[in-house]
Amino acid sequence: MTPNDSRNHLAYSQLLRVRKRFAELDENRRAIDLAPLDILGSMHLAWLYCDAREADMTLAQSRHVLEMDPAFTGAYLFVASGYELQGKWPEAIAAYEQVKDSYGAAYLAGVARAWAAAGNTRRPAAALVRLKEFSHQHYVDPLVFAGYYAAAGDRNRAFEWLETGYRQRVPSLIELEVGYVWDPLRTDRRFHSLERRVAF
């Protein structure tokens, strides 16, 4: 690894993240130190905080990214995640509204999941219908649907979509160990079986 290449440190930080080694933030900080104007390092740090379930730090770092570049709307996805971790569903949905036009699938999945987790019975179903319609013209990862059903408390449907993702070998499976979306499923033996098959 080239010591002074920020991209190498960022890539290694990503590897550490998916292996749940959240305490090892030095690689990400080194990437930021080497390229302080590169927004990706700062955004990745918000991702680390999110996967470590550090809601306040996720929100603070995401807002820092928006201060660096207000046009970098992807940061709102982690603002929304920070609020989801806090169970602040209206705030999460408001953050997802900021990416409505730029991240269609993430927006539809996020609002559907947030409404479902909040216990609403009508709005998540409507958002899910829109997401399915969106998927007719754009690729939507099967794990997006699995995440919705996990939030809605429908474990069987969630695992059906997870199995679809496994059969398709979707890259997002590497997020199983760390994504907060999967927390409602972690006590289920089917989740442990899937983890073993993915080879965690």
Per-residue pLDDT, 87: 94
Mean pLDDT (whole number) for 118-146: 89
Q: Residue 64 above 70 pLDDT? A: yes
pLDDT-derived band at 137 (thresholds 50, 70, 90) equals very high
Map out the domains of the chain as residue ranges: 1-95, 103-200
Instruction: Please give the Cα distance from 85 to 13 (Å, whole number).
Output: 22
Among the ranges given (1-10, 43-52, 128-137), the one the predictor scored with the smallest mean pLDDT: 1-10
pLDDT-derived band at 200 (thresholds 50, 70, 90) equals low
pLDDT-derived band at 120 (thresholds 50, 70, 90) equals confident
**Side chain identity at residue 32, one-letter code:** I
| Residue 27 vs residues 33, 41, 55, 123, 196: alpha-carbon distances, Å | 10, 10, 21, 41, 28
Superfamily of domain covering 1-95: Tetratricopeptide repeat domain (1.25.40.10)
